[in-house]
Structure 1
Amino acid sequence: MRNDTPVLHVESLVVETTGTSPRTILKGVSFEIHAGETLCLVGESGSGKSVSSLATMGLLPPRSLRATGGRITLDGESLLEASAKRLSALRGSRMAMIFQEPMTALNPVLSVGQQLDEVLACHTQATRAERRTQVLEALEQVHLPDIQRVYQSFPHQLSGGQRQRIMIAMALLLKPRLLIADEPTTALDVTTQHQILALIRELQEKHGTAVLFITHDMGVVVDIADRVCVMNTGEIVEQGPVRELLGAPQEAYTQRLLAAVPSLTPRPTRPVTSQRQVLSVSELEKEYAPPRRLLGFIGKKRAGTRAVDKASFTLQAGRTLGIVGESGSGKSTLARCVMRLIDPTSGTIRVDGNNIAELQQRSLKPHRGRIQMVFQDPYRSLNPRLTIGQSLIEGPMNYGTSRAVAMARAKELLQLVGLPSDAIERFPHQFSGGQRQRIAIARALAMEPDVIVADEAVSALDVSVQAQVLALLDDIQQRLGVAVLFITHDLRVAAQICDDVLVMQRGRIVEYGPAEEVLGNPQDSYTRQLIDAAPGRTWDFAACAPVA
């Protein structure tokens, strides 16, 4: 039985913006977490999930946010009344946090060993030798391979999954009572995500840690949560045990969130409406030469890395081809070769019948308009100094379209993607993440392409916004007949938007065919492994019940 005294108790927490006209961000939030329990905070972007966690850690930015009411206690000790020195002592020793992006949370100029050693040096009296032993034990606990090598490595020399394991090792190094995980698996592929969730659960059971897990992925909630709190606009609208809440949601907002979760069951195969091949790739290869320091003796050069190995596929007008696989499988490299953002080593890339694989940059220009890209992060791909209108007309004007015609087309495109035409005078920072992605899609369509390459275009969006963007892509495809090459690590998304699916592993295509066959009846063991690792595969969100 659980201890009735909670490790973390948040009661009527109010957080407001600072300044002359304060705005309330958290409106009386209350929840508690007991030892060995995982509480998931879920909700859309802007619901207040991360603000709740930052308030708990005492990390609210003082110039913009402050807690103005309520209580937060850790094992009965008030955190809102604690001094800065006391909060610093509590962080790491009694409470710790895993952030979403380990590459920005880890210090790039310190080795992994130095960064973990720093935690022990700040909070314990252990000798240097004792600290090294404890760090190596922590790295071993999170199942990292070759821990001596990892100890000496810098963050950029490790994979995303390995960096997240290091963050977990660092957070649990001092065996804190409370672990806060803020979207720790969002950027990871399904198999790495599955491993990280299993690792958090394993270490939690071993140490009896209370876990506050923040996520917008309802599949992750099924796999890790004991209880769930649903947040909307700074308030908790519903909470309860995970199976009860997902099985019988009471609030309309919760019901909408669950209804937006894409199903793992592939949509029925759509009839082919056009035989026109807009993209044909044959025997495509991309090999990277080894760094100079890896070259052996004269005459004994080491082989390079083959990121794409003899990839062949076709894409017809009005169809969507999904490319799925783990991080490092070659998905994005293949997409960038197709776009000619990087040069392939060999093979052919035919866009509307024209082989662009070996064309020089000057010769490529007439063909670039036929194939356009939508990137994962629209905030980084849109120029912050240009208005939306300037971004939308830039491409067509480079190809000879007059400013007046390009601007009229830009207004039509904004309406097509569900944004008002007066948005044309605003800047990227004045839009939400979902709206920015709609703008990125409009910019791609401005060139009237045959093919849109969408590289993880919805992975950073919460489920409801993701559903809207996927519906928009489908609607545009039906109206304009544009083909979509859709790169994703989310099999739920692939199942709902793709006509065909191509599975990549270590640069090679291991399975390729209609989505209904590849995801519904996979033949390759790697494809089955990916499907088995998909979060929440045991739960039917549409039926609000376990999978039969």
Structure 2
Amino acid sequence: MKFKTRNFDDVPSVLEIENLTVRLAGNEKAAPVLDRVSLTIRQGETVCLVGESGSGKSVTSLSVMGLLPRGALEATGGRIGLEGKNLLDLGPQAMRDMRARKISMIFQEPMTALNPVIRVGEQIEEVLNTHTKLSTKEKKARVLDIMNQVHLPDVERIYRSYPHQLSGGQRQRIMIAMALILEPQLLIADEPTTALDVTTQQQILSLIAELQEKHGTAVLFITHDMGVVAEIADTVHVMKLGRIVEQAPVEELLRRPREEYTRELLQAVPSLTPRAARDTPEGEPVLSVNSLQKVYGAHGVFKRTEPTKAATDVNFTIPRGRTLGIVGESGSGKSTVARCIMRLIDPTEGEIRVADQEIATLSRRALRPLRRHIQIVFQDPFRSLNPRWTIGRSLVEGPLNMGTDRKAALSRARELLKLVGLPDDAVDRYPHQFSGGQRQRVAIARAIAMEPDVLVADEAVSALDVSVQAQVLDLLDELQQKLGIAILFITHDLRVAAQICDEVVVMQHGRVVEHDSAANVLSAPRHAYTRALIDAAPGRQWDFANFRELESV
């Protein structure tokens, strides 16, 4: 693997952070959120800031942007130097003048960063309205030019489009165009590819590198994905609990990490090499999907439209105690299949059998007693848990609805919390009192409280740090061995699929293009689309756990 080997010794610095300390506002006794953080970024350099959730990565970026939440966090020491100025000394108006002209930021989720009721072209123009005195014609020409630079198709159409009319990758390109239209010296990218599938992620990373080379921009890239780090970084800074514990050129850090914490982060990255096939005998299938099809209506609100085939002729079975993964890009039909199986949406055609019961055509009333056989774990546990309910109430809701005695349900809830590695006194706490990984453990406990035959995990670990992700994957494997649950695992992360799946189904445009054992699909793919997915996986040439390159890929 060819790492970046550029020498930045004689290159002028763009950003200099020296001993930056950030504390909870009005609480000097609390431990600092950032504790004397120092880093330098030079012109044209990409610095990656890595670490688990809560390590202080995003607080560092918000400090540089002058966007710390007022009344919650405050910088109490240190210096943030840009163009000879200490940004901490600047007032609100001066910082507004700095943003977009000198420093810009790409956020993780463009749908929440973009205004849903304003056309995207107008939103990019707002930057020019604030910082330039260009004419209307000149502004539009400038916007169309930057949209072309970020490789958006049919820019005139997209200029007039609203955010919801664009794909996730296109929305992220709009955010990049907005950030770079005034050619700032520093671009901060805060997890800009975490929610994207591998091919779109590869396009965005290539785009940032291309624009960086063209404009000489310094980049501060915040991520927990070591594959991305291996692809784009010049220098890596590792954060833990508000401190930078290690910093080094990317190749040195990946080959010879000094700190135990850095080694743990690298060793938690799942390998693209499929796990060894399990020798457990295959029994009768507990989930069978035959000729499943989902077509969205042939009529729009105002005019007739062509039907959308979200899933076509999908077939597979899962025996007890086995895991089948469905992989593919956004829009491939993965989640549509999962929602049809859960009967959250109604399939158009086909048969779905769970525990030898046909459920595809049942009414909601007839389906209700059968729901205990199949449960789901969603991507975001904070949104799927009621924030006003204690954990205990969330865990007993399902069993109570099925007629279980409250005392017995609560006792079982405590057992389940222990089973997923949480203390039984968690029953009296609320979701906001747990970390993301702990909340996902609660969501898993709630799903298995019904003693299901099938567990559907829809991107259940995609939002988690690699170390927490590894813990949740180990937990699912452990629960499967103890309880014999069949798992349908929906993911866009091929590394995760390699470590948890016995079989893999690859979907493209609503159709299954490949279905075989995980070893065959990921080690010897037959379909060109599968090969493209594997080739797009960031850092695929690297064996992170053993700090070395793979001999062949």
Q: Specify the TM-score bucket, using the shorter chain as the normaliser.
A: over 0.9
Q: Which of 8, 14, 23 does residue 7 from structure 1 map onto?
A: 14
Structure 1 contact 6–35 (Cα < 8 Å) conserved: yes
Give the paired residue count. 543
Q: Which has the higher mean CA deviation after the structures are superposed, 284-293 or 233-242?
A: 284-293
* Local SS of the residue matching 2:236: strand
Q: Which moved more, 1:8-17 or 1:20-29?
A: 20-29
Write the deviation string for residues 81-103 of structure 1: whole angstroms up to 9, x where unpaired: 11211110010001000000000
How far apart, CA to CA, are the structure 2 residues paired with 1:402 and 1:130? 71
- Contact 2:437–2:469 under 8 Å retained in 1: yes
SS state at 2:462 partner:
coil
**CA drift at 1:5:** 2.4
1:325 paired residue number: 328
User: For 1:155-194, what aligned pairs fall within 5 Å after superposition?
Assistant: 155-194=163-202
For each residue in 1:101-146, what CA deviation from the matched residue of structure 2 results, as whole angstroms up to 9, or x when unmatched? 0000011111011101110111111100000000000111111111
Q: Distance in 2 between matches of 1:241 and 1:201?
A: 17
Residue 213 (structure 2) pairs with residue 225 (structure 1): no
Q: 2:424 is matched with which residue: 406, 421, 425? A: 421
User: Residue 108 of structure 1 corresponds to which residue in structure 2?
Assistant: 116
Unaligned runs of 5+ in 1: 297-301
- In structure 2, the partner of 1:259 is 267
Is structure 2 residue 243 aligned with structure 1 residue 235?
yes
Return the letter of the residue paired with 1:6: S
| CA distance in 2 between partners of 1:59 and 1:520 (Å) | 45
Deviation at 1:23, TM superposition (A): 3.4
Instruction: Specify which of 80, 91, 94 is matched with residue 86 of structure 1.
Output: 94
Matches of 1:30 and 1:521 in 2, distance apart? 45
The question of 1:311 aligning with 2:314 is answered yes
- Residue 266 of structure 2 contacts residue 544 of structure 2 at CA under 8 Å; is this kept in 1? yes
Tell me the equivalent position of 1:144.
Answer: 152
Q: Deviations over 1:63-86 (max 9, x none)?
A: 110111111011222101112111
1:170-227, Cα deviation, whole Å (9 max, x unpaired): 0000000000000000000000000000000000000000000000000000011011
Are 1:448 and 2:451 an aligned pair?
yes
**Cα separation, 2, equivalents of 1:512 and 1:395:** 34
Aligned to 2:277: 269
Letter aligned with residue 470 of structure 1: L
- Partner residue of 2:550? 547
Q: CA RMSD in A?
A: 1.0
1:30-69 counterparts in 2 under 5 A?
30-69=38-77
Q: Is this contact kept in 1: 2:105–2:189, CA < 8 A?
A: yes
Measure how far apart 1:255 and its partner are.
0.4
| Contact 1:283/1:348 (8 A) holds in 2 | yes
Task: Give the conservation status (yes or no) of the 8 Å contact 1:376–1:455.
Answer: yes
Distance 1:159 1:256 in 2: 35
Distance in 2 between the 1:467 and 1:66 partners? 34
SS for the counterpart of 1:80 is helix
Q: Is the 8 A contact 1:6 1:75 kept in 2?
A: no
Contact conserved, 2:275 with 2:498, CA < 8 A, in 1? yes
Q: Residues 430-461 of structure 1: CA distance to partner in whole angstroms, max 9, x if unpaired? A: 10000000000000000000000000000000
**Amino acid paired to 1:424:** V
Aligned to 1:299: none
CA separation in 1, counterparts of 2:190 and 2:164?
21
* Separation of aligned partners in 2, 1:531 and 1:179: 29
1:293 Cα deviation after fit: 4.7
Q: Does 1:19 align with 2:26?
A: yes
CA distance in 2, matches of 1:221, 1:290: 45
SS in 2 for 1:144: coil
3-state SS in 2 of match to 1:29:
strand
Aligned residues of 1:500 and 1:514 also touching (Cα < 8 A): yes
* Alignment correspondent of 2:397: 394
